Amino acid sequence: MYYILMDLEWNQPLSHRSAQYRRYGSQLMFDIIQIGAVKLNEQMQMVGSFNQYIQPGLYRKLHPRITRITGINQEDLHGALPFTEALERFVSWCGEDFALITWGCDDINVFQQNLDFYLKDDRTMPSVYDLQRLFGMRTAGNTKNRPGLQSAMKYFHILPSIDHPFHSAVDDAYYTAKVIQHMDNPEEVLQMPQTVRELAPAKTSANETSDDLRFTNLAQAIKSRPAREPNCPACGKRLKVPEGYVPLDKHTWRALADCPDHGLVLIDMVLETMRDGKNKVKRKAALSDQQNPAYVKTKHLQWANKVAQLPK
């Protein structure tokens, strides 16, 4: 049996107000952009490595924060394989008899969500084991201790190498492999199985709200009282929609409203498809980034023209 130490890097939406996130955020919060892994034999000797960049299928433009942390840029992903093909390559490299191991429990949650979103065949991962959990038990006597990978390296006096920069998936997998090589009875990691947890969508800020409505289509939703009389996301005051709703895309309709205390509010009615295939409508409200009186007046005039041009 082989021990495969895996690490992932992933991209995130540029904004949680983006059309992609409003439509698919509950199904896919992060796009995997790199799979890295190191293979050890039963004697804990390194016998191979795997490194694959992945072209993000939903959040195509790299978030600057991701580039800053990982060093991955847009050019690195140019011509990269889509997730489904990269997965096939990884599965083939793993072979038949192996144990999949990660440092921590975040990677498997993102991995499973990408499987669900791109494969749509209820595929589940093989058992995955948590080396971070074993290290915490060994050093602190409990599994709640969650030290970082670099802390484990310092514990075992493992020096970082210029050839293996941190926050590259294959290099973090390399350091994870070095840690397990230094541990007594490393096979006990197989007593630390992980459980996939469903990722919760990002919480909205104090100036944003999101509500589930009872409607399953937008035509009904935009005629409803929650659409016609939304609430200010900052103070909760009930507002009026003076012009009406305009489609931003086939899944999102937007209206404008004004709070006397907090200014222009953007109201979105968003049709989302859940994992069980059923549709639901969310009402989202957010304070506009621009509150200049001239801008607000112009925006309302533009919205009135857009509503007037809609087919009856």
Q: Give per-residue pLDDT as tens, 103-118.
A: 998 999 999 999 999 9
Please provide the average confidence, as pLDDT, over all residues in the chain: 91
pLDDT class for 205, splitting at 50, 70, 90? Answer: low
- The pLDDT of residue 201 is 66
Give the span between the Cα atoms of 198 and 33, in whole angstroms. 20
- The pLDDT of residue 123 is 73
pLDDT class for 167, splitting at 50, 70, 90? Answer: confident
Q: Which CATH superfamily does the domain covering 2-191 fall into?
A: Ribonuclease H-like superfamily/Ribonuclease H (3.30.420.10)
Interval 262-266 mean pLDDT: 93
pTM of full prediction above 0.85: no
Interval 127-150 mean pLDDT: 87
Digit-coded pLDDT (tens) for 215-257: 999 999 999 999 999 999 888 899 999 999 999 988 999 999 9
The boundaries of every CATH 3.30.310 domain in the chain are 208-309
Percentage of residues of the chain with pLDDT beyond 90: 70
pLDDT of 40 higher than 80: yes
pLDDT class for 65, splitting at 50, 70, 90? Answer: confident
The boundaries of every CATH 3.30.420.10 domain in the chain are 2-191
- The pLDDT of residue 204 is 52
Q: Which of 4-18, 125-139, 151-165, 269-283 has the lowest mean pLDDT?
A: 269-283
Interval 192-212 mean pLDDT: 77
CATH number of 208-309: 3.30.310
pLDDT class for 203, splitting at 50, 70, 90? Answer: low
Q: DSSP characters for the chain? A: -EEEEEEEEEE--S-TTSHHHHHHTTT-S-EEEEEEEEEE-TT--EEEEEEEEB--SSS-SPPHHHHHHH---HHHHTTPBPHHHHHHHHHHHH-SSEEEEESSSHHHHHHHHHHHHHH-S---PPPEEEHHHHHHHHHHSSTT----HHHHHHHTTPPP-TTS-TT-HHHHHHHHHHHHHHSSSGGGGGG-B----PPPPPPP-TTEEEEE-S-SSHHHHTTSHHHHS-B-TTT--B---SS--EEEETTEEEEEEEETTTEEEEEEEEEEE-TTS-EEEEEEEEE-S---HHHHHHHHHHHHHHHHHS--
Higher pLDDT, 63 or 146: 63
Contact 283, 274 (CB under 8 A): no
> Which range, 135-149, 161-175, 189-203, has the best average confidence (pLDDT)?
161-175
- The pLDDT of residue 244 is 95
pLDDT class for 276, splitting at 50, 70, 90? Answer: low
- The pLDDT of residue 12 is 92
pLDDT of 289 higher than 60: yes
- Token readout for 70 is 């990982």
